[in-house]
Structure 1
Amino acid sequence: MPPIPDAHLAAFNRLMLRARQLFGNAVREELVAPDTHQLPSFRVGDLMVIGEQWLVVAITPGSYPFVYARRWEFDWDSDLDEAIAVLESYQKRFLLAPSAGDIFAARLIALVGSDGEVDVATDQPEFDRSLTVRPRRSGAIPFKVHIISGYLIVIYSDHLGWWTFGGDYKSDGIAEAWKVIEQLVVRSGIVHSTRRFSQLLTPEGDVVSGPHSDGVRTRRTQDLHYAPYR
């Protein structure tokens, strides 16, 4: 099998660039060498992409209970967007990376970008990953994200309190936690606190998440208006 043409290599590099945008440092470049020819390839957790006669995308079952073996062979000239769509589909459901914590961290780092800092720690025994998020902009909310195996996500800050999402491998909890994070990082809003609960609201007063009984509670109802990171 000859090395792939330059046009195919350019298409492969475009796909790998999109993978890095989606999964960050969870993308691992690997060399595949049938016979004596090295082929471009990369891996994201249980997904492997190889540039050969076709653009091959293959998924092998891993640690996720709802990831099944799949294989696609995409045409170089007409199917590149479909290959990108496969990556985007799995990224939206927080799949493919070596663990839920890896992909969540990669997405959060990409979301914050240069508008803040994200530190990732793995040395706390009760958590798989702990992420500390600090904004550069005054008026934005710093927070922490703790990730526990089984898709249990905890978002904590002095303003929010301790908000728990998911568990028991239910990806809807991860999606709910991500909605809160996007609201804190990308959009302004209101943290509404009462004696019994706290919740996150849009600037118009629509509920984003809550009520959370483990959140910050106050004797007098109060609204904290915060700024986005950018």
Structure 2
Amino acid sequence: MPAIPDEEIVQSGLSRPRYLLARWQADRLAVTYADLRESERYAQATAFFLSDLYGPKDFSKRDQDGERIVGKMRALLPARAMAAIQSALHLNRLSHELDAAMAVQLFDEMGLLAIDASSYAEAYRRCGLEARREQIDLVDNLGHELDAVVQKPLVQLALKLAHGPAHIAGLGELQDFLERGVAAFLHMKGADEFLATIRERETRILERIAAREQDPFR
């Protein structure tokens, strides 16, 4: 990977270790799911995952806003929608914890200046595989829940009505994120194949890393 300008890292809002890790992971995912990125049906959802969930950016304000207002949303959304939101927050916290542990392993414990497939796999193993299995399960389960929830007219209406008030209240980043996510799921017209592809490929990569294969991301 070519040298990354300091200004690019500053603009991301992340520390250098977290930016380098997030950038490497986003680039890896873009290669792993290149076919989905080129699919008319799944391109929008893939772009959402790569930019809004795994992009090399500081999402802390959006995430903090989500944690802060989730209690106030109980009276506005169906129980199933609230359960999906709670699962999303749990997945987000787990992902942050895993990334923080990976950054420590790569740049503190292993003393690296850059990441490649071999060093990433080694750090991945050192951080333990069970939490990664949980992460894959959560992505799959949450994806199916969200696919069902976003089809509900009440959820779509609530999101539409919240657009103006959310921006006025300083929650525009969170609101826009939710709108992009709902639009991506609706565009797929069924997420089963999309989610099954993610589960199968990420599980295969995990098992290759566990087996210490030389190129687990091939």
TM-score by length of 1: 0.24
**Larger CA Rg, structure 1 vs 2:** 1
More helix by share: 2
In terms of fraction of residues, the more strand-rich structure is 1
- Indicate the structure whose relative CO is greater, using CA pairs within 8 Å and at least 6 residues apart: 2
